[in-house]
């Protein structure tokens, strides 16, 4: 079964192997987009009290944008940060409502969580174009639910592991520099764990400095 996504004016076929993964869950692989000197930046899990604002400040200083995959239950406390991100030219997308692992939920609960997150964002005037399941653990039912809500499923091509306890800013940068290709999708994190260690912030600053100097564009995922 294939999904079709349009990224940077290109149609991408995303293979979904329904029989290969545990729990009958599809493996969603998003191919790299063939563009010239462009990377898509994404952040999962937020918003957080201070970390999100610091990410926005760093991105702004380099005139870069990103897609923030937010856990919508957190918006009760940090609603204004999502609104600020959108107003700053960034994109706000769904990472579910509770960040519970869909592979350890029934399909119905997983889709209820997805729909609730889309509802929360829509009610805020932040209709999401993208959904990334917590841990990237999509269920087959996400395919139809996303189509019904006009939302696309997002994977990634570069995971620098900023959430790991052994992560350093240098390792984050080196992983991105080694693995990233034009049109790649980089996933970083915006939660209390990474905020306490500043790995993501310091790594992000190094990445932006390096790629901006080399003439790359770092941007949010497109809507069309």
- The answer to whether residue 2 scores a pLDDT higher than 70 is no
pLDDT tens per residue, range 145-181: 999 999 999 999 999 999 999 999 999 999 999 999 9
Cβ-contact 41, 63 below 8 angstroms: no
Give me 143's structure tokens. Answer: 């395919």
Domain boundaries along the sequence of the chain: 33-219
pLDDT of residue 5: 31
Give me 90's structure tokens. Answer: 């960034």
CA distance linking residue 66 with residue 50, whole number of Å: 17
Cβ-contact 132, 44 below 8 angstroms: yes
CATH code of the domain made up of 33-219:
3.20.20.370
pLDDT of residue 14: 36
pLDDT tens per residue, range 31-69: 445 557 999 999 999 999 999 999 999 999 999 999 999
Give me 6's structure tokens. Answer: 């349009």
CA distance linking residue 136 with residue 72, whole number of Å: 16
Mean pLDDT, residues 1-28 taken together? 32
């Amino acid at each position: 079964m294939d999904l079709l996504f349009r990224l940077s004016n290109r149609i991408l076929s995303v293979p979904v192997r329904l029989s290969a993964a545990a729990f009958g869950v599809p493996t969603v692989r998003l191919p790299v987009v063939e563009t010239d000197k462009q990377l898509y930046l994404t952040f999962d899990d937020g918003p957080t009290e201070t970390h999100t604002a610091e990410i926005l400040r760093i991105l702004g200083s380099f005139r870069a944008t990103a897609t923030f995959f937010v856990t919508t239950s957190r918006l009760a406390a940090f609603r204004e940060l999502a609104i600020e991100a959108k107003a700053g030219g960034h994109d706000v997308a769904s990472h579910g409502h509770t960040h519970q692992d869909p592979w350890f939920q029934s399909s119905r609960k997983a889709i209820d969580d997805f729909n609730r997150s889309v509802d929360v964002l829509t009610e805020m005037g932040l209709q999401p174009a993208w959904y990334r399941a917590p841990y990237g653990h999509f269920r087959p039912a996400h395919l139809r639910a996303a189509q019904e809500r006009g939302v696309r499923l997002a994977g990634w091509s570069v995971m620098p592991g900023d959430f790991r306890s052994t992560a350093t800013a240098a390792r984050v940068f080196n992983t991105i520099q080694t693995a990233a290709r034009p049109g790649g999708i980089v996933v970083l994190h915006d939660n209390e764990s990474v905020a306490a260690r500043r790995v993501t912030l310091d790594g992000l600053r190094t990445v932006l400095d390096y790629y901006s100097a080399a003439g790359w564009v770092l941007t949010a995922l497109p809507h069309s």
